[in-house]
């Protein structure tokens, strides 16, 4: 009765009540499914979703959409680009923290051995 | 003349000199291609690699293998699991850094307003 989901529209097939994509890929956002299809392929994503309990599927779709977008934006590193950036931030923060801790040790030493 | 690569072996096809997978998927590591195939599908990965200049393909394969492994280990979040963990580490480090900086301000204040 209703219009097919974005997946069934792209794949030109009938969208049934059992369609595994319909709850997550509305026909109003055709790009969302198109990107997932380009990177993972509809049948792989269908299998991935079917292997999960229904209540985990929305999170799985969100992460699959994120990964597909990341791979399209950065065809060499995909999600790994984000991981590298975060690792660099962590390295930078550790360096700052270590510098702050060294300075603190120095300040405490000066505080204890202060000249009157 | 040589044995087929892991991809051609799994897909049961002739491994030619032009095979896009052969340089990265040796027959000695069948699992590596099997996981990539399960998550992305051979034809998608073949297209992704062919769209890249040859010198970027090794990095692309490494990131695709990483993502496929992450998705198999964690079917709901995949790579996003690693991203969440790193984001939590960053939040934790920022908190520690901020605490250290507050303590430093206090030490400097005490140092300047020390009693003789």
Q: In terms of CA atoms, which chain B residue is nearest residue A51?
A: B75
Mark the ranges of chain B whose per-residue pLDDT is less than 70: 1-2, 115-116
Digit-coded pLDDT (tens) for A49-78: 999 999 999 999 999 999 999 999 999 999
Residue A73's CB: how many other CB atoms inside 10 A? 12
Report in angstroms the alpha-carbon separations of A59 from A7, A62, A64, B55, B74. Answer: 18, 5, 9, 35, 12
Report in angstroms the alpha-carbon separations of B83 from A38, A85, A88, B11, B35. Answer: 23, 10, 13, 33, 21
Three-state SS at B33: helix
Q: Are A97 and B100 in contact (CB < 8 Å)?
A: yes
Q: How confident is the model at residue A115 (pLDDT cuts 50, 70, 90)?
A: low
Tokens read off for A10: 């792209």
Residue B99's CB: how many other CB atoms inside 10 A? 12
User: Which residues from B are below 8 Å from A52, CB to CB?
Assistant: 75-76
> In sequence order, which residues have a C-beta less than 8 Å from that of residue A1 and are 6 or more positions away?
none
Pick from A44, A51, A66: which is nearest to B40 by CB?
A: A44
Q: What pLDDT, on the 0 to 100 scale, is given for residue B1?
A: 45
Q: Which of B34, B36, B38, B39 is the mutation pick for testing A, counting most A CBs within 10 A? A: B39
Q: Are A90 and B93 in contact (CB < 8 Å)?
A: yes
Q: How confident is the model at residue A1 (pLDDT cuts 50, 70, 90)?
A: very low
Per-residue pLDDT, averaged over A44-48, amounts to 95
């Amino acid at each position: 009765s209703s219009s097919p989901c974005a997946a069934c529209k792209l794949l030109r097939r009938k969208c049934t009540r059992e369609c595994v994509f319909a709850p997550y890929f509305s026909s109003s956002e055709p790009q969302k499914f198109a990107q997932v299809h380009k990177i993972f392929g509809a049948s792989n994503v269908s299998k991935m979703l079917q292997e999960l309990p229904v209540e985990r599927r929305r999170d799985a779709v969100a992460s699959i959409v994120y990964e597909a977008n990341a791979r399209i934006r950065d065809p060499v590193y995909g999600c790994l680009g984000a991981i590298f950036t975060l690792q660099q931030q962590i390295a930078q923060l550790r360096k700052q923290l270590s510098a702050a801790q060294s300075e603190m040790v120095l300040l405490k030493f000066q505080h204890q051995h202060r000249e009157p």
